[in-house]
Structure 1
Amino acid sequence: MTAAVTEPRGAGASVFVSNGGVRLHVLDNGLLGAAAPPVVVVPGMGESAAEYGWLLDQLGERRAVVVDLRGRGGSDAPASGYAWEDHISDLGAVISALEVERPVLVAFSRGSSYALGYALEHPEQVRGLVVGDYGARHVRPPDAVVERQLRAEIRGVPMIDRMAEHAARAVFTESRDVPLWNRLSGLNFPVLVIRGGRRSTVVTDQVADQWRRALPAVEIATIPGAGHDLWSGDPDAYLAALIPFLDRLTDVGRDGA
């Protein structure tokens, strides 16, 4: 069930979707019936949908939505329920409730593991996947690393200030390591991995090679001046990697594939 909110944010309006009693906030540009494949944006850990209003503005004549995963942005922050599977379920609820047909999933950082999990469960419902500087796995960091990550800053704001503390902690403590490399051969749609060229990137040359071994058809694009934060320093460079990939999927769709 969805309920529209009239307040616009950038190119999108706020919509709410219920998933098992958890209310999820979504930004939706409302371009129903657009010819290009729709896009579902999945932010990273601690990021909110509102930070991606600029991206909706740049996606042209495409239906595009950005999801506030549970515990983030305008979505509910339940006391528990932050496992990998819960986040995958959130994506499924949004895609189903908003009737987003065969979207391209555009994900960032930890959001990539949720998008990849959804794509592996529903490959027939996905047109393409963009992984934002991440490997093919869901990660449960050691406790000592969790504390550092909770205090790490994203665009000048500490993680712990971006989410309710119980939700931020639960995202890590309720997670488990889920390696996905050996499942990538089951993907039957194009996949693009975007990484930064600086040393702070997650997809190092070694991880890029691991992507190529596990999924020979994968495309890998490198943004030379970026680190793990792929776009805030130079949005145009990020778009230069993303938009041609989306355009190729549009051309494939027009050819009837």
Structure 2
Amino acid sequence: MVKSYFVHNTEVALHVLEKGEASVFAPSLLVINGLWEPAERAIPLLSNLPGHVVTFSFRGRGLSSTPEQGYDLAGHLGDIEAVVKHCGLDNYCVLGFSRGAAYALGWSLRNQQHMQGLLLVDQPPVHSSHSEKTVKFWSELNYSGVPILNFMRRTALEGLADEAQEIDFAPQLSQLQIPVTLFVGRNREAVIPSDISEDDLEKYKRSICSLRIIEFLESGHMIPDEEQGKYIREVRKWMGAFSDQQMTVKL
């Protein structure tokens, strides 16, 4: 059963979806969604993964509240921290998709001592800036026939344009001492192509000795939708490996 509730990061109410409970026999999974995605976009994972899975809507997305400020990296990491603390996550895994993977990278570089593993889904090692041009682009965009503004408020898009600064995580990747898996879309004919260039891939490979790469040949960027079955199976296998390790230690 999936619980729906709100967690507060000072004045910001964050909508959380949580399935299951933390266990000493398997790590919890925190799912960090993409730029415009509300918590509900992770329901296929919550519905099909065993164990304890948590996701949420960042400020300005989904059912979460929309402050006027706090759309830089620090503001988003603060939202993650509020959810992690409320749910009591420790020795957990983190999955980040698209821009959510940039937030996941920023979080993991500061908090990996409390984590078991990191899964990045089709995102270069960069927290990108935004501009008025990108505000216009996202404000006018439909995905699967639905306006993006149904999921993310324009105030949040404008906040990103005002506050988000580009941060290149590539020089810090070698600091990651936890296992890292990268999902990459390989279908060059996809409507939304992969965000990962060959140069990005080489940066990951050079810097992370534990890196494991999973290719999705029928997907571009939108792996969770374009190959949902394989996506869920690969996440299950990834989480299962950590569960097996944890069970062995406990026994």
| TM-score, length of structure 2 as denominator length | 0.91
1:196-217 deviations in Å (ceiling 9; x for gaps): 1122001133321221012132
Q: Which moved more, 1:71-80 or 1:213-222?
A: 213-222
Cα distance between partner residues in 1 of 2:209 and 2:145: 37
Change in 2 beyond 3 A, CA 1:152/1:211: farther
Q: Which among 66, 69, 72 is matched to residue 83 of structure 1?
A: 72
Distance 1:34 1:85, change over 3 A: same
4+ runs of 1 displaced by more than 6 Å? none
Report the counterpart of residue 47 of structure 2 in structure 1: 57
RCO (CA 8 Å, sep 6+): is it higher in 1 or 2?
Answer: 2
- Distance in 2 between residues matched to 1:33 and 1:220, nearest whole Å: 28
Normalized per residue, the structure richer in helix is: 2
Post-superposition offset of 1:177: 0.6
SS in structure 1 of the partner of residue 249 of structure 2: coil
Q: Which residue of 1 aligns with 2:123?
A: 134
Number of residue pairs the alignment of both structures matches:
246
Cα 1:37/1:209, change in 2 over 3 Å:
same
In 2: Cα distance, 1:251 partner to 1:52 partner = 24
Q: CA deviation at 1:256?
A: 2.8
Whole-angstrom CA distance in 1 between matches of 2:247 and 2:23: 14
Distance 2:24 2:141 in 1: 39
- The answer to whether the 8 Å contact 1:160/1:168 transfers is no
Alignment equivalent of 1:31, drawn from 6, 11, 21: 21
Counterpart position of 2:101: 112
> Equivalent pairs: percent with the same residue?
26
Deviates more, 1:240-249 or 1:13-22: 240-249
The structure 2 residue matched to 1:70, chosen from 50, 59, 67, is 59
| 2-structure distance, mates of 1:126, 1:149 | 33
Contact 1:12 1:65 in 2 (8 A): no
CA contact (8 A) 1:37 1:103 kept: yes
Following the alignment from structure 1 to structure 2, what is the Cα–Cα distance between the partners of residues 30 and 246? 15
CA RMSD of aligned residues (A): 1.7
With 112-121 and 240-249 compared, the bigger mean Cα shift is at 240-249
5+ residue gaps, structure 2: none
1:38-79 superposed Cα distances (whole Å, 9 cap, x missing partner) = 00011101111112112101111x111111111111111111
Which position in structure 2 is the counterpart of 1:3?
none
1:248 is the counterpart of 2:248: no
Cα contact 1:34–1:63 (8 A) shared by 2: no
TM-score using structure 1 length: 0.89
User: Following the alignment from structure 2 to structure 1, what is the Cα–Cα distance between the partners of residues 145 and 121?
Assistant: 20
CA distance in 2, matches of 1:17, 1:125: 21
Aligned to 1:234: 227
